[in-house]
Amino acid sequence: MLVSLRISQFGLVDDLVLAVAPGLTMLTGETGAGKSMIAGALSVLTGAPVPKDLVREGEDEAYVEGVFDLAERPRTLSRLREAGVLPGADGILVIRRELRRAGRNRVLINGILSSLQVLDQIGPLLISVQSQDQQRDLERSGHARDLLDELGGGLAQRAAVRSAWAAWQQAATELADRRRDVAAGREQLVLWRYQRDELEAAGLREGEEAEIAESLTVARHAAELQSAAAAAHEAVTDEERGAVARLARAARELERQSGRSSRLAGALENLRDAEDLAGEAARVLERFLDGFDAGPEDLEALESRAQLYQDLQRKYRCDVAELNDLLVRLRERVSRQEAADDDLAGLENALDEAGRTLARACSELRRLRRGAAPGLARAAEDLIRPLALPDLALEFRVTPRLDPDGPLQIDGASCRLQTDGADDVDLFARTNPGEKAAPVAAIASGGEKSRIHLGLTVLRRRDEEPPLLLFDEVDAGLGMDNALPVAGLLRRLAAGAQVVCITHLPTMAVHGGVHWLANKGLVGGRTLLDVAVLDPANRVDEIARLLGGAGIKGGAETQRSYARDLLREAGHEVPAGGQRGRVKAG
């Protein structure tokens, strides 16, 4: 929760530090005293836009700083971490927003430069300002739907709708992409088949091109090669003068004496190796001569094969390995295109099934909404009617979002679908008997909307870690007696939390556990805003001022006596009559 609020050079504030207590704090002051400046400062910490003219006259920079203790708020800490914000190990988070008259404003989180986008994300986790401007939330499209789903037990089903909608969209995208592929493929299929068949017929093999080049060399020099091979074969194998025979005779001569000299033994081993090598050469030459059959037709075939390699590489502008990779891709393209009808049928079936799943999910969400709407409206009426709206009637209207061109039918009607289902949900109100119900944003006055909003806030405030709630004149237009139920709701909200309420009514102000007083005064010829924490005696005086009634019988002391009575009824200890205290600075 918020531990302290510091405001510097902001509007009429010079430098103000407020310690913020748990529970309910009331802020009062004369009209124009600057109470709304405190609401504005809190809004600054939520990321609300701020005009540059709020920088105090004569100053170049203003800032608002909030210190939050989140040590006992694990869920809030977890959500902050998800947003990339890391509070200290002690759970302390310091948010500072600096406003410059010239140049860019800055956001600092725990002393580290951050962005307004991050503050927009985390600010509402920490502070919620409920002013009459914020009551426009009632006019926000989707407000009633969100409220009904949250409090009517529809959030899980709404998540199911969102998931089904995403699956349906994905199926539609896959089908559309495949149809585009098929349409483009139809024009290319003939070419792909031709290229596939051409490369398959070629039967290219890596390494074959080098083999062909060697075979061509052999074929082009057949006579010379054959003559040389025959001569070499004869020189090696001739029984009398051939190399093999001579080497064998030499080895036999040495064999008789090799035992008497190690050097002769070594020479003998070399001769035997040479004999083996000569014999192997003879066998290679023999195979060459036996297999030699390179006629003109062979040369022509080899040249044709070599030319095929050159032509295909030049045509497709790639080497043999790349041509074989291309053949694999062409086979896949042709196969995929030839299977297009089956693919499309499968994708169309998948889309139909996803649509049926989405339709069922939307229908179930609509059933839950319509089932929960009457009970939720009654619960809201019970809370809000005591707030000077005794004849209030509320109705959550759930109507299909009809669209004749809608892609799916929900409960037999074509509807426009979104991630939140296929329904419009509106909150209708009737504030006076005999009137026609109308959307609450259109029929209620500003004060009535504030109280309706307060009741709905209490109804939905089931969060175990609520932000600080500030209500700016939620009692506008109420008399003192009618304010009591409003004060009761605020105390209910403040249990285990923090609520700050700006009020003009004494019967509201007495219910605060802490009472702040806003006051404007001249200091050194300049108007300054100060906020003081009232002690019990000065609180009596402020309640008496709020009671007003100048000229009533008994005068000021009668007002103070009445103020003490109101404070006692609200459960506060009150000093005896005549005691006066000092105002404690904020």
pLDDT in tens, 310-334: 999 999 999 999 999 999 998 987 8
Residue 481 has pLDDT above 90, yes or no: no
pLDDT of residue 372: 95
The token duo for 509 is 């102000």
Per the model's pLDDT, the better-predicted residue between 523 and 513 turns out to be 513
Q: What is residue 265's predicted lDDT score, i.e. its pLDDT?
A: 81
Residue 586 pLDDT class (50, 70, 90 cuts): low
- Per-residue CA distances from 184 to 35, 195, 407, 552 (Å): 68, 17, 26, 91
User: For residue 580, is pLDDT > 60?
Assistant: no
For residue 135, is pLDDT > 80?
Answer: no
Task: Give me the long-range contacts of 149-154 (CB less than 8 A, separation at least 24).
Answer: 149/365, 149/369, 149/420, 150/460, 151/372, 151/376, 151/379, 151/459, 151/460, 152/368, 152/369, 152/371, 152/372, 152/373, 152/375, 152/376, 153/368, 153/372, 154/365, 154/368, 154/369, 154/372
pLDDT of residue 169: 95
Count other C-beta atoms under 10 Å from residue 496's C-beta.
Answer: 11
Residue 171 banded pLDDT, cuts 50, 70, 90? very high
Instruction: Place 64 in a pLDDT band, splitting at 50, 70 and 90.
Output: very high
How confident is the model over 460-472, as a mean pLDDT?
Answer: 79
pLDDT tens per residue across span 78-109: 999 988 898 888 999 999 999 998 888 999 99
Domain range summary for the chain, segments of one domain joined by +: 184-338
Nearest to 161, CA basis, from 369, 426, 349: 369
Q: How sure is the predictor about 194, in pLDDT bands with cuts at 50, 70 and 90?
A: confident
Residue 400 pLDDT greater than 90, yes or no: yes
